[in-house]
Amino acid sequence: MQTHVFAGFFGGMAAAVTLQPLDLLKTRVQQAPAAGIASAVKSLGSIHEAWRGTLPSLIRTSVGASLYMGLLSKFRDIRAEHSARISPLSIEKSSASSILPKLSALDNVLTGAAARSIVGFIMMPITVVKVRFESNHFNYRSIWSAVYDISRGPSGWKGLFSGYGATISRDAPYAGIYMLFYEASKDVLQLGWLPSPLVNSAAAVNASVLATTLTAPFDTVKTRIQVSVSNLTFPEAWKQITAGGWRSLFDGLSLRLARKALSAGISWGIYEEIVKLVAKRNILANETT
Ligand SMILES: *[C@@H]1O[C@H](CO)[C@@H](O)[C@H](O)[C@H]1NC(C)=O
Ligand SMILES: *[C@@H]1O[C@H](CO)[C@@H](O)[C@H](O)[C@H]1NC(C)=O
């Protein structure tokens, strides 16, 4: 499990650093609706500025990714015990792009969704604090003052978990659908001419595009619920959004697609390579002792 935590950490970190400029542009575009992407790019004084705010998002992403990969691999191992397990020998000989256990379609969906729900819960306080920090309605000077203030609010400690239901109704289906398509895409791409790191990255991009598109309505509903002053329920928010046509459920999809697909491509590509490297080193170490 440590290997997966470690590999997940570096995969998440690489994705966060590489994609920070995209995140920053997205924030600036959303801040000023009149400004397009071109003027947001122009607003950057220097190339340096594009990486502003990297540290907090880096910590959040890499901690989240390492927890998720650790738990996911644990769940997948448990399920794999009921099907074929991969022997160390086959790892060494194998030319496969990935040494993750093979699971049934249902197990791929369920392990992904379960791991995401649990990690989402653990990370929720950090997410809530981050959003409060970004919003200019609050002027917190430290993380601790934010935590203290939120926990003394009307809902107490529960305030640190506000929006969990809405968040998980988007993230659990995403993770389940992603794992299903990711494993399927690796099998398809494996047969082509791509080298293995690219097989995994391309499969991740393919899976992420499909999963992001299919879960887009949940993201739109979540945002609508979170920014509404009154307590909108899920069906109410859905009805409100689709009043002008179902297409509104997919508002803002292109920016999210770019961000999520690139992030999945980078982090899963690196994650799989580190997992393979560590497994091969362990085999070599066992042979020489
Ligand atoms: C993308 O995923 C779909 C669904 O699993 C699959 O049918 C298709 O072959 C994949 N494409 C590539 C290039 O992997
Ligand atoms: C929203 O719901 C919560 C609990 O369900 C309640 O305490 C709160 O007063 C409600 N807020 C509004 C604006 O209706």
pLDDT at 43 over 80: no
Q: Judge whether residue 91 has pLDDT over 70.
A: no
Q: Tell me the per-residue pLDDT of 32-41, one tens digit each, with 9 for 90 and over.
A: 555 666 777 7
pLDDT at 98: 84
| Fold for the domain defined by 2-287 | Mitochondrial carrier fold (1.50.40)
Q: Which of 108, 182, 188 to mutate to test the pocket of ligand 1 (most atoms within 8 A of CB)?
A: 188
The predicted structure's pLDDT at residue 111: 95
Which range scores top for mean pLDDT: 178-187, 236-245, 278-287?
A: 178-187
Q: What is the mean pLDDT of the chain?
A: 83
Residue 232 CA to ligand 2 centre (angstroms)? 10
- Reported as a pLDDT band with limits 50, 70 and 90, residue 231 is confident
Query: Number of C-alpha atoms within 13 angstroms, CB side, residue 264?
Result: 25
DSSP state of 148: H
- Helices then strands, counting H and E runs in the chain, come out as 10, 0
Looking at the predicted structure, is the pLDDT value of residue 172 above 90? Answer: yes
By three-state DSSP, how is residue 53 classified?
Answer: coil
Give the closest ligand to the alpha carbon of residue 182: 1
Cα-trace Rg, the chain: 21
Given this model, what pLDDT does residue 94 score?
Answer: 58
For the ranges 92-96, 211-215, 223-227, the lowest mean pLDDT is seen at: 92-96
Contact 53, 20 (CB under 8 A): yes
At residue 227, the pLDDT reads 66
Q: What is the structure's pLDDT at 8?
A: 95
Distance of alpha carbon 29 from its chain centroid, rounded? Answer: 21
- CA atoms of 128 and 124, how far apart (whole Å): 6
Please determine, for residue 55, whether its predicted confidence score (pLDDT) is greater than 80.
Answer: no
pLDDT tens-digit readout, 186-216: 999 988 888 888 999 999 999 999 999 999 9
Residues 124-143: tens digit of each pLDDT: 888 777 767 665 566 777 77
What pLDDT is recorded for position 106?
A: 93
Q: Is the predicted pLDDT of residue 110 greater than 90, yes or no?
A: yes
Would you tell me how many other CB atoms lie within 10 Å of the CB of residue 58?
18
- 223: helix, strand or coil: helix
Packing angle of the helix pair 105-134, 54-80 (nearest 10 deg): 160
71 and 115 in contact (C-beta within 8 Å)?
A: yes
Give the mean pLDDT of 66-93: 76
- Indicate whether 29 pLDDT > 70: no
Structure-token pair, residue 35: 């400004």
Question: How many angstroms does the Cα of residue 241 sit away from the middle of ligand 2?
Answer: 21
Residue 142 is classified by DSSP as: S
Residue 219 to residues 85, 131, 150, 250, Cα–Cα distance (Å):
36, 16, 24, 9
- Measured from the alpha carbon of residue 210, the closest ligand is 1
Write the CB contacts of 91 (distance below 8 Å, at least 6 apart in sequence): 99, 276, 279, 280, 283
Using CA atoms, how far apart are residues 116 and 168, in angstroms rounded to an integer?
8
* pTM, full prediction: 0.83
Distance 179 CA to ligand 1 centre (A): 12
Q: Which ligand is nearest to the CA of 180?
A: 1
d(CA 267, CA 45): 29
- pLDDT above 80 (res 17): yes
- pLDDT score at 80: 84
Average pLDDT over residues 47-51: 71
pLDDT of residue 129: 78
Instruction: At 87, give phi and psi (nearest 5°).
Output: -85, 155
Ligand 1 pocket, 206 CB below 6 A? yes
Separation CA 289–CA 284 (nearest Å): 9
The per-residue pLDDT for 247 is 86
Q: Separation of 119 CA from ligand 1 center, angstroms?
A: 27
As given in the structure block, the two tokens for residue 161 are 């978990």
Longest dimension (CA), the chain: 69
Q: Which atom of ligand 2 is nearest to the CA of 154?
A: 7
- The ligand 2 site (C-beta within 6 Å) comprises 230-231
More confident residue, 74 or 251: 74
Find the angle CA(5)-CA(7)-CA(9) to the nearest 5 degrees.
65
> To 5 degrees, how large is the angle CA 159–CA 56–CA 172?
55
Ligand 2 centroid to Cα of residue 231, in Å, is: 6
